[in-house]
Amino acid sequence: MKAAVMGYGTIGSGVVEVLETNKDVIAERAGEPIEVKYVLDIRDFKGDPIEKRIVHDYKIIENDPEVTIVVETMGGVEPAYTFVKAMLLAGKHVTTSNKALVADKGAELIAIAREKNVNFLFEASVGGGIPIIRPINSCLTADVVEEITGIVNGTTNYMLTKMAEEGMEFDDVLKDAQAKGYAEKDPAADIEGHDACRKIAILTSLVKGQQVDFGDIHTEGITKISAVDIKYAKAMGRAIKLLASSKKTGNTYLAMVAPYLISKEHPLYMVNGVFNGIFVHGNMLGPSMFYGSGAGKLPTASAVVADMVDIAKHADKNIPLKWNPEKLVLADYRQCENAFFVRTKDSKEKAADVFGKIETVEAPGVTGETGFITSSMKEGDFEEKAKNLDVLSVIRMGK
């Protein structure tokens, strides 16, 4: 079975490495050896063992009938979309690690794959190496998923963990993450929550079987989290985590990305550093959690190659995937009920005047402000009430 890899960056070169390292077991599981015939990249990679397989024109792959599996690891919507669509229309199977592509064009590409009797798989697009797409599609099939909540961005989780462990300020930990290669030069996609937003859009689309537009999801990043917030979190015995969550409400879902204060009892509490964890609550299964490396060269490539093996096993058959293009109208997040941890310059009395019953929180060494937890209330109501206080920061209380 001949394959082509489009994009020889971190993940693409990882795919070549995984196929090489575990060649024998992969051939056994796939039923035949998988060989990379082409690597598409704008660069030449002189001296690299794959040098002779480098091509610069995707049409060479598109027009080669020998190639049955195409791996897309370029990232971004274009030109990945044009290339992937061409490959599917040419009757080739595609697997991708590209969450931007899947969140934006998933429904359409799945439909094309179905029509051409090939597969469009994307296990690596959420949670890196963690099996989550396939478990949702083929393991949790007896359940109605009532909640899916994930720590799905390793960069921000590394930063929040570092802040919690070392008491560092946001700006310093961002510089550290950039120096270590965990955060990009332009870190907005991670720290503003956009990456996590695309991932929860993909998961919600799969759980509901219907298109969820990531632009509809209320998204807050971690840029406002400070060392003082972390002190309060510790005083409460909690951890601040950027959660991408989706909860069933009536016949739709309420999706949101925001930092939460979660307790030691929550399975996601122990998900630290660059690791990811995805919590799933099924109406029969109850709570479950999938944990592992949410990013990184080999873990992500491992998920891509697992898709290739699945494709090899279903070379003549489309594996049914429900993701209808009809757009799902998400529930209004302002109707969502949460308790909120608030820091304010105002007094405890003023806070109680505004919010009614509150629970104050003290953090060691923090003075000149009031920290308190509200009772559970609608997001919309909270926003209105909070206007009456001089608010320093707000973090939602998780479970």
CB 148 within 8 A of CB 159: no
CB of 88 or CB of 301, closer to a copy of itself = 301
Catalytic position from the list 92, 105, 162, 199 = 199
CB 195 within 8 A of CB 183: no
Name the segment binding a copy of itself (CB under 8 A); options: 78-86, 133-141, 194-202, 365-373. 133-141
Quickly count: other Cβ atoms within 10 Å of residue 316's Cβ: 6
CB of 99 to a copy of itself, least distance (A): 18
Give the residue, chosen from 2, 10, 29, 324, that forms a contact with a copy of itself under the rule CB under 8 A. 29
CB of 2 or CB of 314, closer to a copy of itself = 314
Give the residue, chosen from 47, 250, 320, 368, that forms a contact with a copy of itself under the rule CB under 8 A. 320
Name the segment binding a copy of itself (CB under 8 A); options: 27-35, 88-96, 187-195, 352-360. 27-35
CB of 292 or CB of 371, closer to a copy of itself = 292
Q: What is the DSSP string of 210-230?
A: EE--GGGSEE--STT--HHHH
Cα angle for residues 158, 160, 164 (degrees, 5° grid): 115
CA 150 to chain centre: 7
Q: Binding to a copy of itself by residue 313, rule CB under 8 A?
A: yes
Interaction with a copy of itself in 216-235: which residues (CB under 8 A)?
none
The Cα–Cα gap between 33 and 199 comes to: 32
85 noted as active-site residue: no
Burial class (CB in 10 A: 0-12, 13-18, 19+), 191: buried
Which has the closest alpha carbon to 296: 119, 128, 113? 128
CB of 31 or CB of 215, closer to a copy of itself = 31
Which has the closest alpha carbon to 156: 256, 265, 261, 243? 243
CB of 92 or CB of 248, closer to a copy of itself = 248
Quickly count: other Cβ atoms within 10 Å of residue 232's Cβ: 25
Q: Binding to a copy of itself by residue 202, rule CB under 8 A?
A: no
CB of 10 to a copy of itself, least distance (A): 14
Q: Binding to a copy of itself by residue 329, rule CB under 8 A?
A: no
Interaction with a copy of itself in 332-391: which residues (CB under 8 A)?
none
Q: Binding to a copy of itself by residue 22, rule CB under 8 A?
A: yes
Q: Which token pair is 325?
A: 């293009």
Q: Binding to a copy of itself by residue 135, rule CB under 8 A?
A: yes
The Cα–Cα gap between 218 and 230 comes to: 23
Interaction with a copy of itself in 259-288: which residues (CB under 8 A)?
267, 269-270, 282-288
Give the residue, chosen from 305, 321, 351, 354, that forms a contact with a copy of itself under the rule CB under 8 A. 305
How far lies 323's CA from each of 103, 109, 138, 213, 320, in Å? 11, 10, 14, 12, 10
How far lies 224's CA from each of 17, 121, 227, 242, in Å? 39, 36, 10, 12
Q: Binding to a copy of itself by residue 154, rule CB under 8 A?
A: no
How far lies 139's CA from each of 102, 145, 286, 318, in Å? 21, 12, 14, 18
CB of 319 to a copy of itself, least distance (A): 9
**Binding-site size, a copy of itself (CB under 8 A):** 52
CB 126 within 8 A of CB 99: yes
Give the residue, chosen from 69, 177, 239, 303, that forms a contact with a copy of itself under the rule CB under 8 A. 303
Residues taking part in catalysis: 199
In the complex, the residues that contact a copy of itself under the rule CB under 8 A are 18, 21-22, 25-26, 28-31, 123, 129-131, 134-135, 138-144, 267, 269-270, 282-293, 296, 298-299, 301-306, 308-310, 313, 320, 322
